[in-house]
Structure 1
Amino acid sequence: MGFFYKWWQVIICVILSLFSSSLVEGSHMSYDHESLDAFFGKKTNKEISRPRTGVFYNVSIPSNFTGMEISVVRLRSVPFWFRGVNYSFSNIPPRIVPRPNVVRIAILYENLGNWSSHYYNVPNYTLVAPVFGLMAYNSSKRAFIGEKIDFIIQGDPITIQFPHVMQHETNSTPVCAKFSVGGKVELSNMTKPYVCEGHGQGHYTLVVPSLPSHTNSGSKRFNIWWVLGFVIGFVGLVILALVLLALVKDAKRRKLRKLERNSEGGELFDTFWIGETKLPLASMIRTKPALENEDAIR
């Protein structure tokens, strides 16, 4: 009984592991973009211990995030309001006030590259450009990257330019998608070819309507059926092996009993067991011995 119980435990563990792996492969892997922003902030503070105001720094990215690009600059709020800043993919015009008002701000430029679709997506739309992040932080003497802040735009809006746009099968014109800090998605038309306007910090990209994909759904159904067929076949083989093993054991037990009966020579004896060994048991009543010549003894 214990032997079969252990084998059934093994079978259940194998089935659960195969089923869970199939679910993981069939599901869409999700990534937390808020944790990514926090990681960028910690990485910047750790790598740049003594930042200088007005200097742009490129932050190195670990090898498991290859494809992303991060840069940062610290600015004083008053010169920032007068001049703005034009760098990388964005143009922040003058007359933008940080909220809440701080002495120094740090602007973090993020290019998620080929990781964009892992962290951001729009239902029924496909990304055709990398996600660019424009994040503002309070920058004090203690920390380069402090708490997140926002912008109050009193003049022209912020512009985001996308120099690289991926080819897509649809004939639709891309539209701008802004991902706010709270996760809300806002869609708007481009003001110029591959240029979007922004009214605050956040993440920006270009998207087009997605085409219905019958091939992907068919391949997913094929993968699920293939996994189920494999699991059923594997379980069937294990059960067949257990049945054969039980039959072999039963055949050995029958053969052993037959040998025991032959060894007894047809004479019935009581038997007893010592452990797993069966031994004959002789009767305690024995025949009284008889003398051959009683007269001689007398």
Structure 2
Amino acid sequence: MDHQKWWQVKSLFVSLMFLSSLVKGSKSYEDHESLENFLCKQVNKEIVKPRTGVFYNISLPSNYTGIKVRVVRLRAASFFVRGVSFSLFNIPPHVVPQPNRKRMTILYENLGNWSSHYYNVPNYKMLTPVFGFTAYTSSESAFLDDNEKMNFIIEGNPIKIRFSHVGLHAKNDTPICVKFSDDGSVEFKNMTKPYVCEAYSTGHYTLVVPSHKEKSENQRFNKGLVLGFVIGFVGLVVLVLVLVALVKAADRKRIRKFERNSEGGEPFDTFWIGETKLPLASMIRTQPVLENDDFAHY
């Protein structure tokens, strides 16, 4: 393979690896988008005649065990005046939902042990499950309109997310608030109070700390890779030396056998080419014999 073809193959390989990393990085968000669509359909299927201001638990199939979902329908005017609190979310008054609709539905999610399947933060460890809340428009015909999400305009205090049951972490590591946006981006923000994060929009949230374990594992992997390369290189050198020694031994054995066979016949002189000893046959020309003169006269 010439240099140009090799370069083309190498470039193609690098491109495929890059595209593979992009697909892998975006897969979790595509998966969560599919989950969100499924949850919306499940809400409308299960809640036929919803009452305003009532929280409903949504039952999910067994293959989603560990995920918890609750929904509530509110009047937009009442939501602006009073706000709403549920579990770890506290949405204060004077939050304006957009677009302007008479009713709205808020869907709360606790992804539980599925959190790392749908979301991840490279080089960080999640201390809590991923919690999310999403607002949708609502009407008499549709409890939850999954075709129209709502945004929040905060005119007063921010939304507060109070995390409880935080997992163990190193004492020197202060947890960091993380928001996962709909477009897959990750936003970091410091806590305002211990285990309290402030939010200015809907989305999915969790607490993280630097993953020292992952870092040490990467270091061990790199050391193991270097050690393996060194051992492999030394082994290759030893193998080459052994092969060379075997070839030389085979050559010497063949020469000795040839010399022993020659001892039973006409002896040969020998000569050397480099380190190889070869037989040398003496050149003896047969003496010519003169014809009988009498035979020439017939």
Q: Give 1:192's aligned residue.
A: 193
Q: Give 1:214's aligned residue.
A: 217
Q: CA deviation at 1:65?
A: 1.1
Q: Would you say 1:59 and 2:58 are equivalent positions?
A: yes
Q: CA deviation at 1:117?
A: 1.0
CA distance in 2, matches of 1:51, 1:29: 35
Q: What secondary structure is seen at the aligned counterpart in 2 of 1:108?
A: strand
Tell me if structure 2 keeps the 8 A contact 1:170–1:209. no
Tell me if structure 2 keeps the 8 A contact 1:106–1:145. yes
Tell me if structure 2 keeps the 8 A contact 1:176–1:205. yes
Q: CA deviation at 1:29?
A: 11
CA distance in 1, matches of 2:165, 2:204: 16
The structure 1 segments of at least 4 consecutive aligned residues displaced by more than 4 Å after TM superposition are 27-30, 215-218
Deviations 1:173-192 (A, max 9, x none): 10000111222211001111
Q: Give 1:44's aligned residue.
A: 43
Structure 2 counterpart of 1:92, which letter? I
Q: CA deviation at 1:217?
A: 7.0
CA distance in 2, matches of 1:72, 1:199: 20
Q: CA deviation at 1:195?
A: 0.8
Deviations 1:227-259 (A, max 9, x none): xxxxxxxxxxxxxxxxxxxxxxxxxxxxxxxxx
Tell me if structure 2 keeps the 8 A contact 1:54–1:74. yes
CA distance in 1, matches of 2:169, 2:194: 16
Q: CA deviation at 1:30?
A: 5.0
Tell me if structure 2 keeps the 8 A contact 1:30–1:118. no
CA distance in 1, matches of 2:176, 2:137: 31
Query: Structure 2 vs 1, CA of residues 144 and 28 (structure 1 numbering), >3 Å: closer, same or farther?
Result: same
Query: Structure 2 vs 1, CA of residues 197 and 29 (structure 1 numbering), >3 Å: closer, same or farther?
Result: closer
Q: How many residues are aligned here? A: 197
Q: CA deviation at 1:169?
A: 4.3
Deviations 1:51-89 (A, max 9, x none): 111111000121111111100000000011000001111
- 1:218-229 equivalences under 5 Å are 218=221
CA distance in 2, matches of 1:103, 1:191: 33
Q: Give 2:139's aligned residue.
A: 140
Q: Give 1:109's aligned residue.
A: 108
Structure 2 counterpart of 1:42, which letter? K
Tell me if structure 1 keeps the 8 A contact 2:103–2:137. yes
Cα RMSD (Å):
2.5
Structure 1 unpaired stretches of 5+: 1-26, 226-298
Q: CA deviation at 1:122?
A: 1.4
Q: Give 1:171's aligned residue.
A: 172
Structure 2 unpaired stretches of 5+: 1-23, 229-298
